[in-house]
Chains A and B, each alone.
Chain A
Amino acid sequence: MADTTKQAIPGAVGPRRSPWPRIRWGHVLLYVALIAFAVLILMPFAYMVSTAFKTRGEVFTQPVQWIPRQINLDNFRDALAAYPITRYFWNSVIVGVSVTVLNLVTCSLAGYGFAKFPFMGRNLLFGIVLATMMIPLSSMIIPLFLVVKWLGWVDTYWGLIVPAGTSAFGIFLMRQHMASIPDDLLDAARLDGAGEPRIFASIVLPLSKTALSSLAIFIFMWNWDSVLWPLLVATGDRYRTLPLGVALFESSYGTNYPQLMAVALLAMLPVLIVFLVLQRNFVEAMTLSGVKG
């Protein structure tokens, strides 16, 4: 028996009760909550951006002025003139990219080794690797510095890059991901006569694209933030990285908040861009890598 009320609208396909799209009130509430939270999350960011374009007098006003009276680019210009910010920026880029590439290589290899090859002592070694995550840098920084000094790498790119060349978290992440690669695939390749390195390069790596992307983001982001190590290793403008540049800026123009915010804004743009570009891969990787523990 056809329910004629459902066919009140001519041309409508299928049963419909009314011409209006069903408003899922639950969803609306959800959107409201999500947007509210998004505003909270972005507020400090907005505060920073707006301050970067203000003059000193406009900074601490009551009520808070979100939009500066005029867009003032002086802060950026003055900040760039005061210190070689671009130099620090390039140092951070060089170090960041190198460290990321090194990590991608070492962690993917090691992750694969730990995941798929039950060699003797594997669990012990993996345990030791994980245990190194439980020691803060401040604890081992002097002996580490002495090692780097012995290698002659103080105040060089090598000293900034190589000690950060691998990471326990990275190995953990890659291992988790690679453990889920089907053994049959690998065995099939072996039966075909492929050597282990070949299998790694042509099967394992391509399957790990998303995990590698997420690792790249993490490593780049952590390295970009690194301040304690570069403080000891680098002196002066030559190898100074961006966070140190921000710290130097705070040291000399501390309460000049607009300029400080301008520098901070410049300092965070690269990571933000890298993240926005890679973020789709990254989230897929989190889903696939399975935080199964």
Chain B
Amino acid sequence: MSTTVDPDRTIDVVGVAYHRPRLSHMQKRNLWGFLFTLPALCFFLVFAIIPIARTFYLSFFTFSVVEKPVFAGWENYRALLDDQRFHASLVNSFAYVFMTYIPVAIIALALALALNVRLRAVGFFRTLYFIPVVMSWVVVSAIWKMIFNRQGLMNAFFLEPFGIAPKNWLTDQDWAPRAIVIMSVWKEVGFFMVVFLAGLQQIPSDYYEAARVDGASGWQLFRSITMPLLRPTLLFVSVIGMITGLQVFVPQWVMTQGGPVTATLVMSLNIYQTAFVFLKGGTAAAMSVVLFLIIGSVTLVQFWLNRLGAND
């Protein structure tokens, strides 16, 4: 019989051995933390992780909604190299992101700066500009389809009265993407304006006071105080803009179905059409994986660039 005393074992009066509770307070607390995240994690597991994993898995197969999977190795990925529609969709998605979110950011920042001056009706304007954001894409697309109709508002109000020839917005290969960009800028500006406002309002006004005392001009204030302190906000804006923009789907689906030809075919829409119209589920799955990798890398690059910039 051992004579050493195991500090973790104690024998009580009745002779039954039990272990002192092994969890410290910290660990117990962390367990609670984990438990708090559990409901959400369960949802994710069942309704996100499993379907996503299955999609990634199926990217190595040939299948469709109406066919059983047949193993295909890297074939789907290899085929993407020659797929013209895929290339077009890549270009279109990035074009959409830059053509939409750069103007959005600039306009949103300008509006936020304007509203930050603490005018009386700030709340009113803020709410007003945010209204397009809360309208659903389906409704917005219906309205703008009318606006971009050959006899619609855009031509009748903004172009013809000024002698500019009316455009066939949604049937022209050059103008259809621009039409959707205009609509998207209109819809997104309000959201980013509020984001910038939040960021601006966190900059202590003392900084501005101090700099003004030193004789700094408006522009200098902007460049040396506002911009650097807005860095986290700018990062947020560019990351969200990139992630949302690269996945955009409803506007193109409702307005132009990716046309004319492939002018407005963006990646999500292409994935959808490839899976549901062409019945090539494997190819669509492969495109999904590629899209995910693209978004992931772009996001990482943005964080890295941000860190670089923050070091000066």
Contacts and interface: CB of A to CB of B under 8 A. Distances in A.
Interface of A: 27, 30-31, 33-34, 37-38, 40-45, 47-48, 51, 59-64, 105-107, 109-110, 112-114, 116-120, 122, 125, 128-129, 131-144, 147, 162-163, 165-166, 168, 171, 190, 196-197, 200, 217, 221, 224-225, 227-228, 243, 246-247, 250, 257, 260-261, 264, 267-268, 271-272, 275-276, 279-280, 283, 286-287, 289-293
B271 A264 contact: no
Residue among B34, B58, B132, B134 with the highest chain A CB neighbour number at 10 A: B134
- By DSSP majority rule, is chain A's interface helix, strand, loop, or mixed? helix
20 contacts: A34-B111, A38-B125, A41-B129, A47-B147, A114-B33, A125-B37, A134-B299, A135-B52, A138-B275, A139-B285, A142-B281, A143-B54, A190-B29, A200-B36, A225-B136, A227-B250, A228-B250, A260-B142, A267-B136, A291-B198
Contacts of A37: 111, 129
B163 to A, nearest CB: 14
Contact of B47 (A45, A109, A162): A162
Nearest to B152: A60
B49 A128 contact: yes
A140 B153 contact: no
A134 B41 contact: no
Interface string B52-68: 10110010000001000
A293 B243 contact: no
Contacts of B249: 136-138, 228
A147 B47 contact: yes
Interface string B155-170: 0110011000000000
A158 B136 CA distance: 22
**Interface residue tally on B, bucketed by range:** 35 or more
Contacts of A61: 156
Nearest to B299: A134
Contact of A261 (B111, B143, B161): B143
A62 B151 CA distance: 8
Residue among B29, B33, B190, B243 with the highest chain A CB neighbour number at 10 A: B33
B139 A246 contact: yes
Contacts of A133: 243
B180 to A, nearest CB: 14
Given A34-B114, A113-B33, A171 B156 contact: no
B198 A287 contact: yes
Given A30-B119, A144-B47, A134 B125 contact: no
Contacts of B271: 136, 138-139
Contacts of B46: 147
A106 B40 contact: yes
Contacts of A272: 131, 134-135
A117 B157 CA distance: 57
Interface stretch (B72-80, B206-214, B219-227, B290-298): B290-298
Given A60-B151, A224-B136, A117 B232 contact: no
Contact of B39 (A106, A200, A225, A279): A106
A117 B281 contact: no
Contacts of B157: 63-64
B312 to A, nearest CB: 18
A136 B247 contact: yes
A291 B142 contact: no
Nearest to A27: B119
A37 B115 CA distance: 12
